[in-house]
Amino acid sequence: MHMADALMSPAVGGTMWAATAGLTAYSAKKLRKDLDEHKVPLMGVLGAFIFAAQMINFTIPATGSSGHLAGGMILAILLGPYAAFITMASVLTIQALFFADGGLLALGCNIINMGFSPCFIAYPLIYQKIVGARPTRGRILLGALAAAIVALQMGAFGVVLETWFSGISELPFTTFLLLMQPIHLAIGIVEGLVTAAVVGFVWQAHPEILALALSAPAARVHSHKRLWLGLALFAVVTGGILSWFASTHPDGLEWSVKGVTGQEELAAPREGVHGALAGIQEKLSFLPDYDFKKPEAEKKAEKPESWPEISPGKSLAGILGAALTLFLAGVIGLGLRRYCSPGKG
């Protein structure tokens, strides 16, 4: 669901950047009051985990489309909404800056679409209402499934609204909406099942993590080093090897755009804000599209994608991207933790 700048006007993009900045500042302020020391490394390893997981596209049968884990619900349930929003913003920022996944102008939209809905709507109003303070495996499954579906539907609707308000593409509102919502319903079901599996595993091994996410006192806080190492190992294996087996079908957004225009990607304006930001992104993204940079002539001569795509460039991008996300989310967490230490307010 990573929006490209071709769908975005500067006015809408700038507005969503401002909304993202406001939500990030609000989340940081809330975190400074009660950021638990166990949550800081978890922000880093979960950020790396989600970065790597988003590289695995799964095929949606009978559609010619694919989807990938967004991860907002996993982050919200295991970190709480404020740390989750900041971690998701870290993931999407690393993807846009260094891997050209999602446009820079559209970055605010992408953070709102994939961060705001799960963290501040679906988690407190759906997941928590179903699961409550005493989780069971059945409640976790039902809560994760319902919350993930709603979060994905809201995110997909946000894409349609932002594109329509931007008015720079020829995507008609109704047609685009009728393609986006059903395909993201299917993706949301898979997202919910994966979320339930991950949360259920953590709940069994470290139930206090779910209590800490709610800022509730845990009866006993165990060492989380094995969990941290396990998540970090998953990120390395997924980004480095399993990413080769990702579906080659277009994701839900690309599929929807293609259903209207016949093209998976639309060309962005080359002048003004679009051109300036495209130039910045081209210079910063050292592994665009999660692979080594290639000359235009070589790109045009490329054969159709094979499966599995055994690619050293993709492996490097997966491992390096996970490491960068771990570093950024961890540094933010450490900074907030230090700020709220005694004598710092």
Helix (H, G, I), strand (E, B) or coil at 168: coil
Query: 68: part of which helix (H) or strand (E)?
Result: strand 65-68
Question: Is the per-residue pLDDT at 295 higher than 80?
Answer: no
Contacts with 331 (C-beta within 8 Å, 6 or more apart), sequence order:
none
Q: What average pLDDT does the segment 212-224 reach? A: 68
Give the model confidence (pLDDT) of 231-271 as tens digits.
Answer: 999 999 999 999 999 999 999 999 999 999 999 889 888 89
Residue % of the chain over a pLDDT of 70: 93
Domains of the chain: 5-265+279-295+304-339 (1.10.1760.20)
d(CA 31, CA 110): 22
pLDDT of residue 213: 82
Question: Is the per-residue pLDDT at 42 higher than 70?
Answer: yes
Among 102, 72, 98, smallest CA distance to 253 is for: 102
Q: What average pLDDT does the segment 77-105 reach? A: 96
Phi/psi zone of residue 216: left (φ > 0), alpha (ψ -120 to 50 degrees), beta? beta
Residue % of the chain over a pLDDT of 90: 76
Contacts with 263 (C-beta within 8 Å, 6 or more apart), sequence order:
257
Among 45, 329, 60, 23, smallest CA distance to 191 is for: 60
pLDDT of residue 217: 59
d(CA 299, CA 302): 5
Residue 299, classified by CB atoms within 10 Å of its CB into exposed (0-12), middle (13-18) or buried (19+), is: exposed
pLDDT of residue 222: 67
pLDDT of residue 345: 44
Specify the pTM: 0.93
Give the model confidence (pLDDT) of 145-169 as tens digits.
Answer: 999 999 999 999 999 999 999 999 8
Instruction: Round the CA-based radius of gyration of the chain to a whole number and report it.
Output: 19
Give the model confidence (pLDDT) of 6-28 as tens digits.
Answer: 999 999 999 999 999 999 999 99
